[in-house]
Structure 1
């Protein structure tokens, strides 16, 4: 099994419900399905997330070396046999989603005018460039940071931008951005 990753990797996420009385059938089916997908072109690895205690859904993540091989798997006869066998009627509410590894928060701006992207990004980054360096200066008075102050500021600004501010700002301005 190859665990490498590159920007072209493709991921197939399968979500489904399983009738509780068919847990043993699922285990047998799962081993057959894994054996089948492992020999498919471009297969990298598979992760099976068993349902949480009070959740109904199971999740299977299948990684391929490129999105084209994910799509080929979705159209393959081998996959069709796995899911359309009359013995797997106990899998319900199956959903499949293809995800590319090169997705990132700025992809939400596709089709948006550049000046709107700039305005929203400015609204997100400006307060951070004022607040974070000020906080780092205050910390530097107590703990000498020397040349690390700039690195810490940059790490905090970029982290807040990606994980907190941009998702919030995008939700706030989504309608306007995509008009």
Structure 2
């Protein structure tokens, strides 16, 4: 159970194993529930990792600014109504986990499988952070020269880097490099 007293950037990691032939129904269900989650305070975004290689497992990552706001969403009447329609589409009960920060990027969907080696996590994170921290400050300085050397300019640089990492690079690269991160056996 989620403890609503804790406060931290959190991600709800939901794993759904969809029945064969029900993927279009499930995709339609996602199109209903994702905008509803976005209406709640503190919603920071959602990523859907769709099945590959003929698998049927979806992983949905829903980020909130703190645990209280995530709790409000998970306990909402809107979510409960849509969740009630879900079992008819699933081959197994849904699995949910709450993860602080960005720890979810390297969590394998199947808990029986090991996560990626630490050196792979390091290399991928470095490959994302290094060019971002080189290019973003130059771009911000070019667009807003008055920000150079200021606290708010540094904050803007960092905010842009984090936004790119969380919403673009890590979802894209962990999906593209999935077989390298966690080889299929």
Structure with larger Rg:
1
- TM-score norm. by structure 1 comes to 0.49
1 or 2, which has the higher helix percentage? 1
- TM-score norm. by structure 2 comes to 0.47
